[in-house]
Amino acid sequence: MLLFELASAVVSLLAVGLTARRHPLCWPLGLVSVIAYAWVFIDAKLYSDALLQGAFGIMIVYGWLRWMQHLDDSGHVRVAALPVARAWRHIGIGALGALALGAFMHHQTDADLAWLDAALAAFSLVAQWWQAKRHAAAWWMWIAVDVLYVGEYLYKGLHITAVLYLVFVGIAIAGLRSWRRAYKSAQRLSTESFGNY
């Protein structure tokens, strides 16, 4: 399983790196990654994470289609603003999802770290949704979630995956900067274009 985990980590790393660059090829690589990681997590009895990979698969298809409708002239996705009220609503939904999934996993399965794993899965879905919707705020959520995942995976002995998620934290920081810069640049160009009419 170690080699399979390593191969899964490499594909995930490529997918997240392309996401940080706003490149639409992140989606098909992401799909391969979530299929592979579902098996890794089932083997580690992290069932919330395994279920999360299935949900990611659905969101990846949605995000891929959505991004293809919002590419700029250079072939990169345009970043969209996230209204504060909507962000809080999504965070509330994530918290409710974490409680429901955590209760189920704790009482109905032999899942390890059922509550933590469920919370991380739920808030990963929030981050993935924001990413599909092209919101730079997704990177803030990924930073928080990925830091906690590093600890969870170290505890579970998934050392390759823990290192991967530590690298994801760095990519998320770079992605946040890149997406914010792209958003500000697009706003500036939009204002300049509007001023020319």
Predicted confidence (pLDDT) per residue in 109-147, tens digit: 998 899 999 999 999 999 999 999 999 999 999 999 999
The whole-number average pLDDT for the span 174-197 is: 78
For residue 148, the tally of other CB atoms under 10 A from its CB is 15
The whole-number average pLDDT for the span 11-39 is: 95
- What digits encode the pLDDT tens for the residues 34-73? 999 999 999 988 888 898 899 999 999 999 999 899 888 8
pLDDT value, residue 197: 43
**What residues have CB less than 8 Å from 115, skipping those under 6 apart?**
98, 102, 105, 106
Task: Annotate 28-44 with three-state secondary structure.
Answer: HHHHHHHHHHHHHHHHC
pLDDT value, residue 196: 46
> Residue 176 and residue 180: Cα distance in Å, rounded?
6
Q: What predicted TM-score, i.e. pTM, was given to this entire model?
A: 0.86
Q: From the CA atom positions of the chain, what is the Rg in Å? A: 17
pLDDT higher than threshold 80 for residue 194: no
Give the closest residue to 140 by CA, choosing from 196, 87, 197. 87
